[in-house]
Amino acid sequence: MHKRIATLTLLAGPLTLGCVSGPASSFSRVALENATSDPGQIAPAARPAHQAKPVTASAAEPTGPRPEVSQQDAMRQIAPMLAQLSASDAKLHAEVLDQLAAAKPSLWSLTVQRALNTSEYRQQLTGQSTTPAPAPPAVAPQPTTMVTNPAATAAPVHLPPPTPPASPTTDANVIQASAVAEPVAAASLSPAAKAMGAAPETIGNPHFDVVSSQEPVAELDWREHLGEAIEQLKTQPRTPGETHEQVRLQLMQLVAGETDHSTPSAPGLPASEQGYWSNQIYALATLLSDKSGGDRLARADAAARHQSEASAKLREFSSLRVQNFVTCKEVYGFGAYEPLAEARYAPGDQVILYAEIDNYQSDVSDEGYRTTIASSYRLVGLDHNEIVGGDFPEVDDLCLTRRRDFHIQYGVTLPGGLTPGDYRLELTVRDRLGEKVGHDQLMLTIVRR
């Protein structure tokens, strides 16, 4: 919407902007409602003789106060805007009619225009249609009276903020200082006012927020949002999906600082998964807790023990993984071996194999942690036909502490009648306790001896 901005020169001495209502108009509220329903019924009124020629503002020739707009002219200006407001916001339209009945005709246009701005703002807030409403008909600007005072810099100007009224009103002082047909967006300060350090004052719509009947919604603190979510999830789980919601509840309680309620296991989950979540949440709670004292190293050590146990439980219900499956010259231990640069063998050679196993399950007992692994191999040609295969001896490992370095060394003797060429050696590993299977493979090249 195009805004016309008129220069406002502040008078010397203190100036108080108040909300002044004009005398009661001879136009009744019924007449205003009729103008809303049929804007065309308002006949144009002849311009008074004293309005025939606009007054040119001049510092050398100060003029008197702006003449009052006739009721017929004011009604003709606001009738289309009242019809538009009635269609968009009937409640606000009724409030505006009450205000117009008690205001001067010269204030009608600005009052209705402010209400239109408020209606559009409400529609944006409530997600209503953003199609721009048809612009109101252009209204000829009223004569502007500007007053200059050379002594304006002699005394500070005091502009106390206006007290918001219960209903939208208009400011007669502002209107008399700058009479415009449309609301002014902002008034620029005069050089004298800028020299006094005054802040720019918005006068185009000083009661814009007051007109809106919607109360501002206070934003909730993140802890309040979190507390509401915790209360919504405090129910007994009945399905697997709700069981995981119980885990989310424990995590949110942990973030909220409710460490005393964030560690019970989630019912309905397998034992290994329950063990993971319990230890994982204990590890986080230990790091976040203030009850263990200020020793960061001690808290980190306690959290690391829970984290290690959580990782072990997580590996138990993960896929069995076979990695670093290579041919070697010599194997010394976990991660310590001499791999061959090229896996080239002659028929009948002995092949030393190394593989690392992860995500296996270990059962704990009075004897320690037991792990049982079975392995087998297949030598396959490029035509996918199996040449030879077999089972390796089953490994039954017992360790006093949970093992983290499970590796197996294999030995395979190649058949003596192999034809030179490329072959694929496939390894299959089975976790007997976890009932999981893992695979890996490597390529061998057979050459003539």
Query: How do residues 180-216 score in pLDDT, each as one tens digit?
Result: 344 444 444 444 444 444 444 444 444 444 444 455 5
- Any idea what the Cα angle at residue 77 is, between residues 91 and 133, rounded to 5°? 55
- Between the alpha carbon of residue 270 and those of residues 44, 223, 242, 273, the distances in Å are 85, 32, 14, 5
pLDDT score of 373: 96
Which tokens sit at 448? 């003539």
- CA–CA distance, 207 with 183 (Å, rounded to integer): 12
- What average pLDDT does range 132-138 have in this prediction? 53
Which tokens sit at 432? 């007997």
pLDDT score of 195: 44
- What average pLDDT does range 403-411 have in this prediction? 92
Average per-residue pLDDT in the chain?
A: 72
pLDDT score of 48: 44
pLDDT score of 231: 81
384-404 CB burial, b ≥16 within 10 A, e <16? eeebeeeebeeeeeeeeeebe
Pure H helices in 240-382:
240-255, 271-288, 296-316
Which tokens sit at 202? 């918005």
Cβ neighbour number for residue 108 with a 10 Å cutoff: 27
Structurally, at CATH architecture level, domain 321-446 sits in Sandwich (2.60)
pLDDT score of 328: 96
pLDDT score of 397: 94
Domain layout of the chain by residue ranges:
29-211, 222-316, 321-446
Q: Give the pLDDT band of residue 105 (cuts 50, 70, 90).
A: confident
- Phi first, then psi, for residue 326 (nearest 5°) are -140, 160
Q: What is the pLDDT of residues 144-178, one digit of tens each?
A: 444 444 344 444 444 455 444 444 444 444 334 33
Q: What is the pLDDT of residues 14-39, one digit of tens each?
A: 333 333 344 444 456 666 666 666 66
Q: What is the pLDDT of residues 39-98, one digit of tens each?
A: 655 555 444 444 444 444 344 444 455 566 788 888 888 888 888 888 888 888 888 888
- What average pLDDT does range 227-247 have in this prediction? 73
Handedness of CA 433, 436, 437, 438 (dihedral sign): negative
pLDDT score of 436: 96
pLDDT score of 258: 73
pLDDT score of 110: 84
- Between the alpha carbon of residue 319 and those of residues 256, 315, 358, 363, 405, the distances in Å are 34, 8, 9, 17, 17
